[in-house]
Structure 1
Amino acid sequence: MTAFSKLFKQTFIYGLATVLPRMLTFLLTPLYTDVMAVGVYGKVSIIFAWFAIFNVILAYGMETAFFRFFNKEEDKEKVVGTSTLSIIITSVIIFLTAFLLKNQIAVITDIEVQHINFVIWILLLDALVIIPFTWLRAKEKPVKYAAIKITNVAINIGLNLFFFLLLANLATQSSFFESIYKPDFEITYVLIANVIASAITLLLMFPFYSKVKYRFDSKLWKQMLRYAFPVLIAGLAYTVNETFNRILLDSSLSRAEDPEAEVGMFSACYKLALFMTLFATAFRLGIEPYFFSHAKSDNPQKNYARILEYFVAFGSVILLVVVVFSDLIKVLIIRDEAFWEAMWIVPIILVASFCLGIYHNLSVWYKITDRTKFGAYISVFGAIITLGLNFWLIPIIGYKGSAIATLAAYGSMVLLSYFYGRKYYPIPYNLKKIGLYLFFSIGFSVVYFYQFRENYIVGITLLIVFLSFVYISEIKQLKKLLKG
C-alpha cells in the first residue's frame, strides 16, 4: 500500500469518526429548533461557545505536543506517561478551582450557576480522554477511535431524543418519570445528556489508563510545554475566531432587540457550513500523523503539495454543492422558519471554513520544523481581525458582520501562513491549479446564491461545469492513487 493510499484510507475512517457523529448531531438541530424558542437555542449556543474556549485551555496544546514527541523520542512510553499525568493533574486542579469560583464564573459568562455545575463536569470528563484519543491516532488505530467517538454521539443523541420526545409522555403514565420531568428544562436536559455521554466515553477509555506506565519526566514535560504553549495560544485564537462571535452578538454590541434570538438564528444557519467543517476536520485528522511520520522521508514537500491540491479540489466541490442545495438542506436541518433569516451568512461561512481547512494544510511547515510560535502569531493575528471587525460591524449589520469577520480572519491566516512557509520550509504548491479551483468554486457560489438563489437550473448547470473541470484536471492523479 502506498503512503497516499494509506493516508486516504485513514482519512476516510477518521472522516467516519468525525462526519458520521456530526451528521447524527444534525438530528439535534431540527429537534432543538423545533422544541426551543430562538432565544433559548441562542443560550445553548452561547454555553457551547464557552465550552470551546475552556476545552482549549484544558488541553493546552498537549495533543499536538504528544504527536511531535511520540514520533521524535525513542522512549515512547515516557512520552505517554508524562503527557497523561500532566493532563490529569492540571484537569483536577482546574476542576476544583472552578467549583470554588463557580458563582464568579457564572457572572463573567452570563450562564446560570446550575448550568455551570454541569459544564465543569463535562469539561473534566472531556479533558481526561484527550491523551487516550491522541494515542489511538498516533498508534494508527482509526477504527477504535471512530467506534468510541460514534458511541459518544449516539448516547448523546439518544438521551436528547428521550428527554425531548418521550419523557413528557412517560411522565403522564409513571410516577417515576413524573418525578424527573420538568417543563422548560431544555438547557439542563442538553447538559445532562452531555455529562452522561462524556462519562461513558471515559469508561470506554479505561483500558488505556490501565496500561499506561505512569512515569513523569520533568525535563521532557518542560520541552513538551515549550512546544505546546504556542499551540495553546493558537488554539485560543482559533476559538475566538470560531465561537466568540456568539458571545459578542449577545453582548451590548448587538443592535438587536433580542440578542439571544440573533445568536440563535446565526448559530442555526452556521450549522449548514458543517459539511465543510467536517471534511476539513476529517482531512486534518488523517494528515496530521502523516505530516510528522513522513517529515524525514525523501522530498516530503512534493507530497505535501499534492495533499493540498486534493484538499482544495474536494473542498471546492463541497462548497458549490452545499451552496446550490442550501435552501433544500435548511428545511431538513432547521425546522422553524424563524431561524431562516440568517441564511445570508451561509456562503460566507462556508468559504471561511474552507479557508480554515487550507490553513491547517499549510500549517505543516511550522509544526514539523518546531516553529509552533508562528502558529500562535498567525492565529492571534486572525483573532485580532475577528475581534476588531466584530466590534466594528456588529453594531452596524449584526450577525452579517460576524460572518464577514470570520472570513476575513481565516483568509488572512491563509496568506500569512503561505508567506512565512515559503521562507522557512518551501513547498512547491501548484498555485495555478489551486487558484483556478478557488476562483471558480467561490465565484460560482457567490453568483448563484446572491443572484440566482433557488433557480436550480442555473445552480446545477454551474455545478456540472465545475465538476467536469475538476474531473478533467484530476483524473490522471486519481487513477494513480486508486491503483496504489
Structure 2
Amino acid sequence: MSNLKKLAGQTAIYGLSSILARSINFLMIFVYTSYLNKEAVGSFTGIYALIGFLNIVFTYGMETSFFRFSTGKNLDPAKVYNTTQSLLITSTLVLGGGLYLAAPWLSELLNYPDQAYLFRWTALILSFDAILAIPFAKLRLSNRAFAFAGAKMINVLLNVFFTLLLIIWIPELISAGYLQEGWLGYQLNWGIEYILLANLFANGLIIPYIWWKAGFFSFSLDTEIIQPMWKYAIPLLFMGLAGVTNELVSRLLFEYLLPENFYPGLNPREAAAIFGTSVKLAILMNLVIQAFKYAAEPFFFGKSSDKNSPQLYANVMHAFIIFCSLLMVAISVNLDLIGYLFPAGAGYDTAFFIVPILLMGYLLLGVYFNLSIWFKITDQTKYSFWITLAGAVVSLVVIFTTVPVLGYLGGALSTLICYLVMTSMCYYYGQRNFPIPYQTSRDLSYLVIAFGLSYAGFFMDLGSVGLNFFAKNSLVLVFLAWLGYREKNLVLAVLQRKKSR
C-alpha cells in the first residue's frame, strides 16, 4: 500500500508540473499575438513544429532505453547512465553540428532568406534539449519527483522571463528613452528571433543545475551496453516519428501547401499564424488528456490482474467521454469570449470555426489512449507502431489533398481523421484480442450530440454579448442536465456513497 501511495504522490507531482508548464506555455500565445505581427507568429508555428519533430531524432528513443537498461538487465545503473549520456552528447555533436552547418540551405528551403541564424539557434536549442534528456530521466528513475518538477518549472519560468524581457520590457524601456535601440544588438523589428533566444537562454542556463541535481557523469562509450540499447531504441525512434507526425505535421506543412492569396490580404505564413493559434486553443483538451494520462496509466496497470478489470476500463472510458464531451461544448460555445483576448481586428478569430473539429480530434486521441490499454497489458505493443504509422500516413494524405483546397478546414480535418482512424483501428483489434464491454453506442451518441451542440453554440448570435453568453452557455447546462438524466443511476450511486460517508 505504501508503494502505491508513493507512486500516486509522484504521479500527481509529475502531472501537476507538466500540466502547469504546458498551461504557462499555452498562455504565452496571447503575448505573441499581442506584441508580434502575424508573420512572426506564423514563423513560431512552423519552426516549433520542426523543433518538435527533430527532438525525436536527436533523442532517438534513448530515454526509454535508459529506463529499460538501468533496471532488470543486471547492469550497473551508473555505467548505463555514463554510457547513455556520453552517447547522446556524441550524437548531438554530430546532429547539432550538421544542422548548424546546414542552416543556410535550410533557411532557403523553408523560405527564410538571409535568416540562417534562426536555424543555427534551432540547432543549439535541440542540442541542449538532447543533452538534458537523460539527466531528467535519471531524476525520474531515482524517484526524485520534486527535483524533476522543480527543474522543469525553473526552465519554463526562465523561458517566460526572457520572453517578456525581450518582447515587452526592453521595447518599453527603449520607447521611454531609458535604452537605445541597438543596445546589446537589440532590434525592434525582430519577432521569432526573440522567442528562439528566450528558449535558448532558458535551456542553456538550466544545464548546470540539472547536471548538479542528477549527478555529473564520466565520459564512457561501452559498446556492450550501446549495441543492445541501440537495437531497443530504433523501433522507438520510428514510433516516435510517426506519433509526432500526427501531432505536428499540419503546423509544419500548412504554409507550404497553402496557395498564395488563398486568403485575401494574408500571405501563407500569416495564414499559418492564424491556423496555429486555433490549434493552440484546441490544445486545452490536450491538457485534460495529459492530466488523465498521468493519473490513469499507473491505475490501469495496477488493476490489470483484477478479474473485473475489463468492466472497470469500460467505466473509466465512459466517464472520460462524459467529461470531455462537456468540456468540448463549454470551450466551443465560448470561443467568442476567448476572441477578446486577441488584438482587435487582427483576424485570429477567423479560423475559430475549426476549433470544435480540433477539439473532437484531441478528444479522440484521449479515447485512443483509453483503448490502448489492451495492447499494453497484453504485451502486444507492435500494434501501437502500426496504428500510429497508419495515422501518420492518413494525416499526410489528408493534409496534402485538402489544405490547398480547404485551407484552415483541411488542416483541422487532418487531425480529426487521423485520430478517428487510429481510434477505430485500436477499438477493432482490441475487441478481438482483449474484449472490454464499452458502452459504445451511448458513448458515440454523446460525442455526436456534443459536436452538434458545439457548432450550434459557436454560430449562435443574438446580437448582444450578454445575451450571447447566457444563450450559448444554456446549451452547456442543457447538455449537462441531459447527461445527468441519462446517467441518473451513476449520479444516484455517487450521491449515495457521499451520504454513507
Q: Structure 2 length as normaliser, TM-score? A: 0.84
Distance (Å, rounded) in 2 between the aligned partners of 1:124 and 1:240: 21
Cα pair distance change 1:59/1:417, threshold 3 Å? farther
Cα pair distance change 1:324/1:258, threshold 3 Å? same
1:357 Cα deviation (Å)? Answer: 2.0
- Tell me what 1:460 maps to: 473
Q: How does 1:28-427 map to 2 (within 5 A)?
A: 28-67=28-67, 72-73=72-73, 75=75, 77=77, 80-111=81-112, 112-171=115-174, 172-174=177-179, 178-210=183-215, 218=223, 221-255=226-260, 256=262, 258-288=267-297, 301=310, 304-332=313-341, 337-427=346-436
Confirm or deny: 8 A CA contact 1:276 1:354 kept in the other structure.
yes
AA paired with 2:429?
Y
Confirm or deny: 8 A CA contact 1:348 1:407 kept in the other structure.
yes
**3-state DSSP of counterpart to 2:256:** coil
Cα pair distance change 1:178/1:473, threshold 3 Å? farther
Confirm or deny: 8 A CA contact 1:15 1:278 kept in the other structure.
no
List alignment gaps of at least 5 residues for structure 1: none
> How many residues are treated as equivalent by the alignment?
484
Confirm or deny: 8 A CA contact 1:362 1:414 kept in the other structure.
yes
1:391 Cα deviation (Å)? Answer: 1.6
1:175 Cα deviation (Å)? Answer: 6.0
AA paired with 1:460?
N
Distance (Å, rounded) in 2 between the aligned partners of 1:113 and 1:396: 31
Distance (Å, rounded) in 2 between the aligned partners of 1:137 and 1:481: 36
Tell me the C-alpha RMSD between the 2 structures: 3.5
Cα pair distance change 1:380/1:473, threshold 3 Å? farther
Distance (Å, rounded) in 1 between the aligned partners of 2:55 and 2:120: 15
Cα pair distance change 1:303/1:225, threshold 3 Å? farther
Confirm or deny: 8 A CA contact 2:103 2:117 kept in the other structure.
no
Confirm or deny: 8 A CA contact 1:71 1:292 kept in the other structure.
no
Cα pair distance change 1:436/1:397, threshold 3 Å? closer
Cα pair distance change 1:299/1:147, threshold 3 Å? farther
Confirm or deny: 8 A CA contact 1:21 1:149 kept in the other structure.
yes
Confirm or deny: 8 A CA contact 2:136 2:214 kept in the other structure.
no
> What is the identity percentage for the equivalent residue pairs of Structure 1 and Structure 2?
30
Which stretch shifts more, 213-222 or 87-96? 213-222
Confirm or deny: 8 A CA contact 1:248 1:254 kept in the other structure.
no
1:294 Cα deviation (Å)? Answer: 6.4
AA paired with 2:60?
Y
Distance (Å, rounded) in 2 between the aligned partners of 1:92 and 1:294: 44
- Write out per-residue CA displacement over residues 384-405 of structure 1, whole angstroms, 9 at most, x where no aligned residue: 2112112211221111111111
Cα pair distance change 1:79/1:284, threshold 3 Å? farther
- Tell me what 1:23 maps to: 23
Cα pair distance change 1:327/1:71, threshold 3 Å? farther
Distance (Å, rounded) in 2 between the aligned partners of 1:87 and 1:291: 32
Confirm or deny: 8 A CA contact 1:87 1:127 kept in the other structure.
yes
Which stretch shifts more, 415-424 or 49-58? 415-424
Confirm or deny: 8 A CA contact 1:227 1:370 kept in the other structure.
no
Which stretch shifts more, 2-11 or 408-417? 2-11
Match of 2:452 among 443, 451, 458: 443
Q: Structure 1 length as normaliser, TM-score? A: 0.86
- Write out per-residue CA displacement over residues 23-73 of structure 1, whole angstroms, 9 at most, x where no aligned residue: 223442222112222122111211111111101112223334445556654
Cα pair distance change 1:252/1:359, threshold 3 Å? closer
Distance (Å, rounded) in 2 between the aligned partners of 1:251 and 1:120: 22
1:193 Cα deviation (Å)? Answer: 0.3
Cα pair distance change 1:407/1:29, threshold 3 Å? same
- Write out per-residue CA displacement over residues 407-443 of structure 1, whole angstroms, 9 at most, x where no aligned residue: 0011111111222223344444443554354344333
**3-state DSSP of counterpart to 1:251:** helix
Confirm or deny: 8 A CA contact 2:333 2:455 kept in the other structure.
no
Which stretch shifts more, 391-400 or 226-235? 226-235
Confirm or deny: 8 A CA contact 2:342 2:348 kept in the other structure.
no
Distance (Å, rounded) in 1 between the aligned partners of 2:374 and 2:76: 24
Q: Mark the structure with the bigger radius of gyration.
A: 2
List alignment gaps of at least 5 residues for structure 2: none
Match of 1:431 among 425, 432, 440: 440
Which stretch shifts more, 32-41 or 16-25? 16-25
Distance (Å, rounded) in 2 between the aligned partners of 1:466 and 1:30: 30
Which stretch shifts more, 97-106 or 271-280? 97-106
User: Which structure exhibits the higher relative contact order, with contacts defined as CA atoms closer than 8 Å and separated by 6 or more residues?
Assistant: 1
Cα pair distance change 1:353/1:245, threshold 3 Å? same
Distance (Å, rounded) in 1 between the aligned partners of 2:97 and 2:200: 17
AA paired with 1:101?
A
Which stretch shifts more, 145-154 or 58-67? 58-67
